[in-house]
Structure 1
Amino acid sequence: MNSSTPGASPVLTPGLTGHAEVRVTEALCAPAVGSGAIMVYATPSMVALMEAAAVACVEHRLAPGQASLGVQIEVSHTAGTPVGLAIYATATLVAVDGRKLTFEIEARDSKEKIGAARHTRVVVDAERFKARIASKSA
């Protein structure tokens, strides 16, 4: 984000990276999350890990009171991973356009690349967003 954007943080620049990892358990496999019958790491679990890598990339750099929200993800899951292996996701911030942040993300297990994504997040005022969500419950 450039410093001319209201509420923007000048430390969010393309090239930043974030990482997340998890060891595959039965709870993260397709049968447990409803995405298939074969006992392999589930696509929804991989998407969550990819988002965690994007959050790790930027969340600690946001201004006080700001948070980022995932709004879009285009993902491919190209290889299966059995229970017991670790999965590593790396997110790279590739574009900043005002409040919109775009990431390229790769996921790997110890043997090979298992997935890739292009992910968009937006920076929001956390309290204002929480108030909007709370009003839905009223």
Structure 2
Amino acid sequence: MIEVGMTYTAEKTVTPDMTAKAVGSGGLEVFGTPFMMGLMEYAAMQCVQPELPEGKGTVGVEISSSHLAPTPVGMKVSATAEVTGISANGKMITFKVTAHDAEGLIGEGTHTRAIIDNARFLQKCNDKLARV
């Protein structure tokens, strides 16, 4: 059962392919914001996935985040997601997300995920190809 207060933390070591320069979101070889937000989403997904029935998953529908401090290649980063709300119908989950490196907080924000039926979601996605 998904409950408010559940948390999950994911960790990675920043590699050259995770930099702003590598992804094209900036010109410097520092931890890129898209990768920070991706790690935040991953933490949120992992936070609730074990509580979902077989064949169900979550997809990100909204994320709002600040990126407060740079992190160099070679330093470990972590992202923590905490469930802060569940919609009345149980299909939408909101999270507080934070990211840290060895020096402290590097990012924070909010994230929302929708619970989906994996097969139905993929079918809806793939049906787009038939229409174009």
- Answer whether TM exceeds 0.5 for this pair: yes
TM-score (norm 2): 0.95
| CA–CA separation in structure 2 for the residues paired with 1:26 and 1:49 | 16
Matches within 5 A, 1:58-69: 58-69=48-59
Percentage identity across aligned positions? 41
TM-score (norm 1): 0.91
Gaps of 5+ in 1: 1-10
Quote how far apart the aligned CAs of 1:63 are.
1.2
Q: CA RMSD in A?
A: 0.7
Amino acid at match of 2:40: M
Match of 1:111 in 2: 103
Amino acid at match of 2:12: V
Match of 1:99 in 2: 91
For residues 72-99 of structure 1, the C-alpha deviation after alignment (integer angstroms, 9 at most, x for no partner) is 0000000000000000111000100120
Gaps of 5+ in 2: none
Quote how far apart the aligned CAs of 1:60 are.
1.4
Match of 1:7 in 2: none
Match of 2:28 in 1: 38
Return structure 1 stretches of 4+ with deviation > 6 angstroms: none
1:133 maps to which of 104, 125, 130? 125
Match of 2:8 in 1: 18
Quote how far apart the aligned CAs of 1:62 are.
0.5
For residues 29-77 of structure 1, the C-alpha deviation after alignment (integer angstroms, 9 at most, x for no partner) is 0110011111110000100100010011001111111110000000000
